[in-house]
Amino acid sequence: MCGIVGYVGNLKAAPIILDGLKRLEYRGYDSAGVAIMADGEFNVAKQIGRVAGLQKTVAQKPIEGTRGIGHTRWATHGGVTRENSHPHLSNNGRIAIIHNGVIENYATIKKLLESKDFTFVSETDTEVLCNLISYHFDKEPETDEAGSRLLASVRRSLMHVQGTYGICVLSLDAPDELIAARQGSPLILGVGPEELVIASDVAALVSRTQNVVYLKDGELVRIKGTTFQISTMDEAGVSPVIDQVTWTVEDADMGDYEHYMLKEIFEQPAALENAMRGRFSADNSTAKFGGLNLTANELRGMGRFMFCACGTALHAGMVTEHLIERFARVPVECDHASEFRYRNTPLFTNTLFFVISQSGETIDTLAAMREAQRKGFKVLAINNVVGSSVAREADGGIYQHVGPEIGVASTKAFTSQLLIGAMLALYIGRMRDMSVRDGTEYVTALKGVPDLVRETLKTADHIKGIAERYSRFNDMLFLGRLELFPIALEGALKLKEISYIHAEAYPAAEIKHGPIALIDPECPSVFLVPQNELFNKVISSMQEIKARGGPIIAITTSDAELPEGLADEVIVIPACHEAILPIIATIPMQLFSYYVAVTRGCDVDKPRNLAKSVTVE
Ligand code: AGP
């Protein structure tokens, strides 16, 4: 979850590292720190709070030096204190480390080191690893070159470690060098003409270079001056593959918007256009995907689909489940990746497995994928970040192509996952019983999505007014049916994560089985009530709420006629094809949660306790 950046080059390291950390802040923002090597010592600046605070401190007291490491923290071991902030130094002050991940057996290692008179100033697992490296470094033959000793001691230490890590290590004894290693936490090397930058995410690199090497689990990189060598834990050399990042710095900037989340909400028409581009057949009757790595026959032969994901991405999976079952008539299962990985669930032999992940680094999703692959299943990934761990380990997949999503609350990534899910249902449906006519109608609907989203975004001011009136409540219910039940879940999740309002979602008819007990004038309900075969049933549920004094916000389609006075607030979205309704219905949910959070004065892009990609279990 934490963001890490390392720099070795000819320029002042501190501003470059701090700029990188600023771009990585969505990974964690409890505290930030840098350690820069200069004149035979480490200059360390670290403090609780945001990177901007650290930038101010460093601006007042500039740090010289052209090699350094920096970290923005999402606390795991130990509270949010300066002592627990990274970088950490070894007892002798000669080794500095930053770490993203969790060392599960740190307590055992700590005991061992304490028995050898090591002491600790923090409660972190990272400081333990730092001293372990220092311990091994001192045991390496002094006759060896310091850089080789450092690499060997990092390797030896990591052999004792259980857990996940992306680390960067500096040593005063090898002032030209930086060692980095990864296991379960992402690490990317940016290769500039006269500098090397290492980071947990491309966002921190794109302002320096577009040329990157994605390190794999179990790999270490030794940076020496402007050269680097990659090797494995078994000391085998690895030939680096240099990839080109397609994102630019502008893609990751906020532009004129007040928050990334708002920018990303309004970017959706263009983002969805990108997600669809080149993905329809010439006769416009079906979808096509380049990277599935499956023949049409293999796909046709699949008797079942399984989707695993976390959070918002899981909601996209749940909508896709509904659409594939509805339009392709193939059974689909959907599971929390975090549960699937331990459930040892029996799976049908001809099941095609999908994971969905914006970041491609969510540890539970990765673990679910590996578990399915271990059982011999092919796993395809729906993923936004090119070169992410999920993308690299999947057997094939579909990129979302919506550019960097920085806001912690997922918006454009979610709607593009819904769009890809709808296209998948079409693709599989057309291989089975869906007619050319129905397929053509479906494609026309998909192609109309960007315009419908544009139209729906025009309700922003109306929704802002509603949000301002409703921001004082502390509990809300979100209710929808069929393909809109997962959208109700998403609406509740969005509200919870950025405004800290307690929100729950149910299929509308479920309220009478318990949740209706919550209803009173202080608990509003947001109903998704499109004109469809269950319209009258949802109206009945609304009446049950109304009868108990619960305020109602209705999100309804332009072809529906709500009974006069039933809803206290009405948001009208365009009537549209069932396959794209979840996308259109999501827009008011996003705007509502955004404006509620802003009205309550919450930090929309960096909600408390959260991080954008959850790389620890
Ligand atoms: C969404 O608003 C959340 N921040 C969160 O639920 C997120 O979708 C989840 O952590 C999965 O992330 P991923 O798509 O990067 O795997």
Return all residues near 283 (Cβ < 8 A) that are at least 6 apart.
436, 440
- Kindly report the average pLDDT of the chain as a whole number: 94
Residue 259 sits in the same domain as residue 275: yes
Is 455 a member of any domain? no
Question: Rounded to an integer, what distance in angstroms lies between the CA atom of residue 170 and that of residue 180?
Answer: 9
Backbone angles phi, psi at 95, to 5 degrees: -125, 135
Please report, for the domain that includes residue 554, its CATH number: 3.40.50.10490
In the residue annotation, 216 being an active-site residue is answered as no
Give the Å distance between the CA of 613 and the centre of ligand 1. 7
Residue 246 confidence (pLDDT): 81
Residue 221 sits in the same domain as residue 258: no
Residue 486 sits in the same domain as residue 421: no
- For residue 414, pLDDT beyond 90: yes
Residue 566 sits in the same domain as residue 481: yes
Query: Could you identify the atom of ligand 1 that is nearest to the CA of residue 410?
Result: 2
Rounded to the nearest 5 degrees, what angle is found at the Cα of 540, between the Cα atoms of 539 and 542?
Answer: 65
Residue 6 confidence (pLDDT): 97
Residue 314 sits in the same domain as residue 174: no
DSSP string, 223-258: EETTEEEEEETT--EE---PEEP---TGGGS-TT-S
Question: Rounded to an integer, what distance in angstroms lies between the CA atom of residue 60 and that of residue 278?
Answer: 51
Residue 416 sits in the same domain as residue 471: no
Residue 415 confidence (pLDDT): 98
Residue 428 sits in the same domain as residue 293: yes
Which has the minimum average pLDDT: 93-102, 265-274, 340-349, 374-383? Answer: 340-349
Is 100 a member of any domain? yes
Check if 3 has its Cβ closer than 6 Å to any atom of ligand 1.
no
Last residue of a domain, one of 247, 273, 304: 247
Give the Å distance between the CA of 421 and the centre of ligand 1. 17
Is 609 a member of any domain? no
Give the Å distance between the CA of 406 and the centre of ligand 1. 11
Query: Using CA positions, which residue lies closest to atom 4 of ligand 1?
Result: 409
Helices (H) and strands (E) in the chain, counts: 19, 25
Check if 409 has its Cβ closer than 6 Å to any atom of ligand 1.
yes
Residue 471 sits in the same domain as residue 430: no
Residue 432 sits in the same domain as residue 521: no
pLDDT > 70: percent of the chain: 100
Please report, for the domain that includes residue 238, its CATH number: 3.60.20.10
Residue 74 confidence (pLDDT): 82
Q: What is the 3-state secondary structure (H, E, C) of 526-553?
A: EEEECCCCCHHHHHHHHHHHHHCCCCEE
Question: Rounded to an integer, what distance in angstroms lies between the CA atom of residue 104 and that of residue 517?
Answer: 43
Is 611 a member of any domain? no
Is 615 a member of any domain? no
Query: Could you identify the atom of ligand 1 that is nearest to the CA of residue 413?
Result: 14
Domain count, the chain: 3
Which of 614, 615, 616 most suits a substitution to test ligand 1, by most atoms within 8 Å of the C-beta? 614
- For residue 111, pLDDT beyond 90: yes
Q: What is the pTM of this model?
A: 0.86
Q: What is the 3-state secondary structure (H, E, C) of 253-301?
A: CCCCCCCHHHHHHHCHHHHHHHHHCCCECCCCCCECCCCCCCCHHHHHC
- For residue 616, pLDDT beyond 80: no
Average pLDDT of the residues in 328-339: 96
Which of 1, 27, 310 most suits a substitution to test ligand 1, by most atoms within 8 Å of the C-beta? 310
Residue 384 sits in the same domain as residue 235: no
DSSP class of residue 308? E
Residue 441 sits in the same domain as residue 469: no
Is 41 a member of any domain? yes
- Which member of 110, 263, 546, 612 is catalytic? 612
pLDDT, one tens digit per residue, over 1-17 is 788 999 999 999 999 99
Task: Please answer whether residues 502 and 596 qualify as being in contact, where contact means their C-beta atoms are separated by less than 8 angstroms.
Answer: no
Question: Rounded to an integer, what distance in angstroms lies between the CA atom of residue 490 and that of residue 502?
Answer: 13
Check if 338 has its Cβ closer than 6 Å to any atom of ligand 1.
no
Residue 468's domain comprises 460-604
Residue 386 confidence (pLDDT): 87
Which of 307, 312, 314 most suits a substitution to test ligand 1, by most atoms within 8 Å of the C-beta? 312
Which has the minimum average pLDDT: 30-39, 74-83, 344-353, 397-406? Answer: 74-83
Give the Å distance between the CA of 309 and the centre of ligand 1. 9
Is 375 a member of any domain? yes
Which has the minimum average pLDDT: 39-43, 89-93, 201-205, 399-403? Answer: 201-205
Average pLDDT of the residues in 591-602: 97
Question: Rounded to an integer, what distance in angstroms lies between the CA atom of residue 322 and that of residue 484?
Answer: 10
Residue 291 sits in the same domain as residue 360: yes
Question: Rounded to an integer, what distance in angstroms lies between the CA atom of residue 590 and that of residue 499?
Answer: 12
Last residue of a domain, one of 447, 481, 505: 447
Check if 410 has its Cβ closer than 6 Å to any atom of ligand 1.
yes
Average pLDDT of the residues in 37-46: 93
Query: Could you identify the atom of ligand 1 that is nearest to the CA of residue 612?
Result: 4
Residue 201 confidence (pLDDT): 87
- For residue 222, pLDDT beyond 90: yes
Check if 408 has its Cβ closer than 6 Å to any atom of ligand 1.
yes
Last residue of a domain, one of 399, 425, 447: 447
Is 397 a member of any domain? yes
